């Protein structure tokens, strides 16, 4: 497994911090065009890559890496590229789908529409997946650099920030409620202590 890590990133600045996983047995990180395209498009739109990894098309390793990335505090979005086709060795969709708590089915439908305009009926052999895992949007894209650019520029870049916000909205509300309850409890304890003093 090849990996690069940009260190701690601050998603509070409006920058989307992305975990990128490219999956292919025939390429390495240094020759990974799909990963380079992801980095370029994200950078052009003011976002950044927190961590980038490359693995072979192995079900368990793909599932393990994506599971680890969605649990990182410095990753807002996960994007995978590769191993999504119809060959027996294409395992990304099958590996990532069980991790998702909510699937964004419209993403695949929309990608098919925009891809059809570029490649025609060949799009029937193209599979994509998107969903939410651990309050983190996850997008699984084909390994073709043109398909990656299409998905990012036409859909992901414009929608990812809103998805992150919606996926984490309840979490912020829950934190606020917990703080309020803690303050209420502290106040109640203080008043009991005061009133019980002699």
**3-class SS letters over the chain:** CEEEECCCCCHHHCCCEEEEEEECCCCCHHHCHHHHHHHHHHHHCCCEEEEEEEECCCHHHHHHHHHHHHCCCCCCEEEEECCCCCCCCCCHHHHHHHHCCEECHHHHHHHHHHHHHHHHHHHHHCCCEEEEECCEEEEEECCCHHHHHHHHHHHHHHHHHHHHHHHHHHHHHHHHHHHHHHHHHHHHHHHHHHHCCC
Q: Is position 130 within any domain?
A: yes
Q: Is residue 196 part of a domain?
A: no
CATH number of the domain where residue 150 is located: 3.40.980.10
Domain presence at residue 72: yes
The Cα–Cα gap between 8 and 72 comes to: 10
Q: Could you tell me if residue 106 is inside a domain?
A: yes
Has residue 198 been placed in a domain? no
**Residue pLDDT, tens place only, 88-105:** 999 999 999 999 999 999
Structure tokens at 115: 């891809």
pLDDT at 28: 78
Give the range of the structural domain holding residue 33, as residue numbers without chain letter.
2-171
136-185: pLDDT as tens digits: 999 999 999 999 999 999 999 999 999 999 999 976 555 555 555 555 54
Domain total in the chain:
1
Question: How many Å apart are CA 93 and CA 103, to the nearest integer?
Answer: 12
Judge contact between 154 and 148, C-beta under 8 A: no
Strand order from edge to edge, sheet including 17-23:
2-5, 48-55, 17-23, 77-81, 136-141, 129-133, 102-103
Structural domain includes residue 155: yes
Q: Say if 6 falls within a structural domain.
A: yes
In this structure, is residue 191 part of a structural domain? no
pLDDT tens-digit readout, 1-42: 555 554 444 434 478 999 999 999 887 787 789 999 999 999
């Amino acid at each position: 497994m090849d990996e690069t890590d940009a260190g701690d990133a601050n998603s509070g600045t409006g920058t989307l911090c992305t975990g990128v996983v490219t999956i292919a047995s025939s390429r390495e990180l240094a020759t990974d065009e799909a990963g380079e395209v992801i980095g370029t498009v994200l950078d052009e739109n003011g976002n950044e890559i927190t961590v980038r990894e490359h693995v072979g098309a192995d079900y368990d390793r793909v599932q393990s890496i994506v599971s680890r990335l969605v649990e990182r505090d410095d990753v807002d979005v996960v994007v995978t590229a590769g191993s999504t086709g119809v060959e027996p060795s294409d395992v990304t969709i099958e590996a990532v789908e069980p991790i998702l708590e909510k699937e964004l089915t419209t993403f695949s439908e929309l990608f098919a529409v925009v891809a059809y305009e570029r490649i025609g009926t060949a799009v029937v052999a193209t599979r994509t997946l998107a969903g939410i895992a651990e309050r983190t949007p996850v997008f699984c894209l084909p390994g073709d650099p043109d398909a990656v650019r299409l998905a990012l520029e036409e859909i992901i870049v414009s929608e990812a920030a809103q998805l992150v916000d919606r996926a984490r909205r309840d979490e912020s509300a829950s934190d606020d409620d917990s703080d309020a309850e803690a303050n209420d409890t502290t106040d109640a304890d203080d008043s009991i202590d005061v009133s019980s003093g002699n």
